[in-house]
Amino acid sequence: MGQCRVIIVGAGPAGVRCAEVLVAAGIRPILVDEGRRDGGQIYRRQPEGFNRSYPTLYGTEAERARSLHQTFESLRGSIDYRPETLAWNIFDRQLYTVSARVSKALPFDALVVCSGATDRLMPVKGWHRAGTYSLGAAQIALKSQACAIGRRVVFAGTGPLLYLVAAQYVKAGAHVEAILDTSSLWKRVRALPKLAARPRVLVNGLSLMRTLRGAGVRIVTGIEPVEIHGSPEDGVSGITYRGRDGSTHQLACDAVALGYHVRPETQLADLARCEFRFDAETRQWLPAVDQDGRSTVPGVYLAGDGARVLGADGAEIAGKLAAWALLQDLGRPVPEAERDALRRERGVMDRFRQGLVEAFPWPAEQAARLPDEAIVCRCEAITAGELRRVVNQMGACEANRAKAFSRVGMGRCQGRYCGHAGAEVIAHAAGVPVEQVGRLRGQAPVKPLSIAVREEVE
């Protein structure tokens, strides 16, 4: 058999299930992963020497986590696994990886990008202060190192992760000062028919709420964050928010976990030159994929939350579907009945996904009200006022033009954290729909690359 060179990026649920299907078909893929161990973000494994149990670490998802980790262990001898390795570029059908300051160019016939998702963030005045974390970062601290981000933590934003991480903090014995949700209860009630597409997940969600209420955590909905207070020396000292009735409230805290659901990590798809489409529901540009994860570039497949945010079990399905799509494109047989069943299952999950989008909407309108002095781009310390200035005075109504003039999106995160909010600020200032603002063009490296890197030929 002529060996097909397949690379999978990401050892989370999508990447591991993809590898499983490919190995069963006789392919030995390279599995590149940034993490020190497999599992991705959601099923992140604790470092050696830590001994928390599966139920402690993963709660209701303990069995899924165990199953994924076991599958990975069983594949170890059949895959070329490269942990602690960053995929930093794609060029001329080669994936560029870097590990321990050695860069390698790996040629591929097929590439499956399972890059996962990170927090979607809306700036708030003062969010650059030390002690402000994304929800994902707050969760990593707990899962990996058994640390909390502060002694009195406020969780602010919206989305399922807001409640999940807060509940995990409560269970771990951390003090949660409050949960401040920008969405309203009414929106959640209205989304119930769609959320009911996945009764088990809905029940888990409701049980989280019970845990939080049982622990006496204050939950306020329909709020708008106004300012995170603090000082450069001591970091965060409190947060002010506006309630549903317009009144303002202040809470003392030493850490804020912030997030508005999650967004796919699409840089590799961009560097692979995949086409993107505007998704009106979530107001963001996403790589175009067919139902099995084929991108617009032949031989490049996108699976899991890095393409569409369906959560961990949706990612497991997407990983398998992408692997079958890849095999089919190679002229190999695929188990059609099983594939069709998974496609249907994913259809149900997609209905639930829409429910989440409606229940916990991206608060685009906040961008318009962001005070001029609030920082939008934390990497380059650029304020909303400066971004509005390049729109209003310099005519930059497109994302890349505004980036060229203002540097918003030009720093070390390359717009992954400020890009969506920046686009909303531009759209409002320019008076155009956000899709017309376009999207930031991705540039290598995906994450900062040491100048001490050296090239090695395999």
Binding site for another protein (CB under 8 A): 88-89, 91-92, 96, 103, 105, 380, 394-395, 398, 401, 404-405, 410-412, 414, 443-445, 448-455
Q: Is the peptide bond before 55 cis (omega within 30 degrees of 0)?
A: no
Q: How far is the CB of 356 from another protein (least distance, A)?
A: 33
Q: CA-to-CA distance for 18 and 111, rounded, in angstroms?
A: 11
Q: CA-to-CA distance for 102 and 48, rounded, in angstroms?
A: 25
Q: CA-to-CA distance for 328 and 346, rounded, in angstroms?
A: 19
Q: How far is the CB of 380 from another protein (least distance, A)?
A: 8
**Of the two residues 185 and 381, which places its CB atom closer to another protein in the complex?**
381
**Of the two residues 88 and 169, which places its CB atom closer to another protein in the complex?**
88
Q: How far is the CB of 160 from another protein (least distance, A)?
A: 32
Q: Is 322 helix (H, G, I), strand (E, B) or coil?
A: helix
Q: Which of 96, 97, 43, 93 is nearest to 66 (CA)?
A: 43
| φ, ψ at 194 (rounded to 5°) | -75, -40
**Of the two residues 48 and 92, which places its CB atom closer to another protein in the complex?**
92
**Of the two residues 296 and 354, which places its CB atom closer to another protein in the complex?**
296
Q: How far is the CB of 451 from another protein (least distance, A)?
A: 5
**Of the two residues 271 and 427, which places its CB atom closer to another protein in the complex?**
271
**Measured on CA atoms in the order 413, 419, 425, 429, is the torsion positive or negative?**
positive
Q: Which residues contact 334 (CB under 8 A, 6 or more apart)?
A: 324, 327, 328
**Of the two residues 380 and 424, which places its CB atom closer to another protein in the complex?**
380
Residue type, 342: L
**Of the two residues 160 and 445, which places its CB atom closer to another protein in the complex?**
445
DSSP character at residue 64: H
| φ, ψ at 352 (rounded to 5°) | -60, -40
Q: How far is the CB of 29 from another protein (least distance, A)?
A: 22
Q: How far is the CB of 2 from another protein (least distance, A)?
A: 27
Q: At what angle do helices 185-195 and 199-214 cross, to 10 degrees?
A: 150
Q: How far is the CB of 106 from another protein (least distance, A)?
A: 12
Q: CA-to-CA distance for 169 and 138, rounded, in angstroms?
A: 9
Q: CA-to-CA distance for 176 and 154, rounded, in angstroms?
A: 6
**Strand pairing category for 276-279 and 284-287:** antiparallel
**Of the two residues 234 and 275, which places its CB atom closer to another protein in the complex?**
275
**Of the two residues 146 and 404, which places its CB atom closer to another protein in the complex?**
404
Q: Which of 332, 205, 326, 181 is nearest to 260 (CA)?
A: 181
Which strands, in side-by-side order, build the sheet including 6-9? 80-82, 30-32, 6-9, 110-113, 300-302
Q: How far is the CB of 97 from another protein (least distance, A)?
A: 11
Q: How far is the CB of 304 from another protein (least distance, A)?
A: 25
